[in-house]
Structure 1
């Protein structure tokens, strides 16, 4: 999601919650005017935070690769009809 967000703390908490709730990578790119861009993925330990930039009126570029197949379900869901 992209944002022009002044309330960085609230949106940081939302990204963290979505990462746990939806069990998927979540990326928030905020404008450099306000700062607060972040990327999280449901990995183990402290590896959940992929990139996190705070501070206002600065230019920051974070580059990273995420393999989407890591989050693909490997078990089949069977219907009990």
Structure 2
């Protein structure tokens, strides 16, 4: 079974929520352009000064996507 990895971009400051929301648009575009098998993206507002955008990739694609998009961190997606 292939593990799924959640790649995460952190945004901080008063515009964090809008920036994370906008970043998700670009993540969706990347998925279409690269024809990635998974289409799981999103953004979460953690508090008024911190939000994240994320995308989930299969472990086999993680290195290529990480090198291309430079996420701040990642975790195993369940």
- Give the TM-score category using the shorter length: 0.3 to 0.5
Q: So what's the TM-score if we normalise by structure 1? A: 0.35
Q: So what's the TM-score if we normalise by structure 2? A: 0.36
Give the structure with the higher percent strand. Answer: 2
Give the structure with the higher percent helix. Answer: 2
Query: Which structure has the bigger radius of gyration?
Result: 1
